[in-house]
Amino acid sequence: MGVITEGFYDVMAADATLTALLATYNGSPAIFTVDPAPDDAELPYIVTAGEIVSSAFDTKTTRGRELRRDVRCYAEADDSAVTVESMAERVYTLFHRQLIAIEGFGVWVAECSGPIAADEEDAYGRVVTVRLLLVELDE
């Protein structure tokens, strides 16, 4: 797993409030960094795999990146969206204006948008998009 993906995973997996809302998969919280989630994964779970936008964010004296990544939350379609909405709101809280540890980078800006609905036939879905401005750190 790359350092950015690892940073996202670590933030979510370390949060007891969020992990209490999730199923487990192979003894870990059901947070997947591959898309699609494994066929045998049970709801509720989260998928975050790669950036939807990644562009240069360089200044005269620094090198960096602006990226946006979707964090997709899914829960069983059981006539109540409370679980999936709670998951998405927690993801928003964990990333919006928070210090996020990503190896080799400093985070200048962390902000979220959403959650937006992304329901599927058998699952309720919500998407939170995280925007980060990252600056490479000198090693």
The per-residue pLDDT for range 14-25, each reduced to its tens digit, is 999 999 999 999
Q: Is 1 helix (H, G, I), strand (E, B) or coil?
A: coil
Count of other CB atoms within 10 angstroms of residue 26? 8
How many residues are given for the chain?
139
Indicate if the pLDDT at residue 139 is higher than 70.
no
Spell out the domain ranges in the chain. 3-136
Residue 107 pLDDT greater than 90, yes or no: no
| Residue in 2, 34, 86, 25 with CA at minimum distance from that of residue 13 | 25
Q: Please report the pLDDT score of residue 64 as a whole number.
A: 87
Name the average pLDDT for the chain.
91
Q: Which two tokens stand for residue 129?
A: 């998009």
The CATH code belonging to domain 3-136 is 3.30.2000.30
Task: Please name the residue that has the structure tokens 């962390």.
Answer: 110
pLDDT, one tens digit per residue, over 38-82 is 999 999 999 998 888 788 877 888 888 899 999 999 999 987 899
What pTM was computed for the model? 0.89
Cα–Cα distance for residue pair 127/87, rounded to 1 Å = 10
Measured CA to CA, the distance from residue 136 to residue 139 in angstroms comes to: 9
* Least confident stretch, 34-43, 52-61, 90-99, 106-115: 52-61
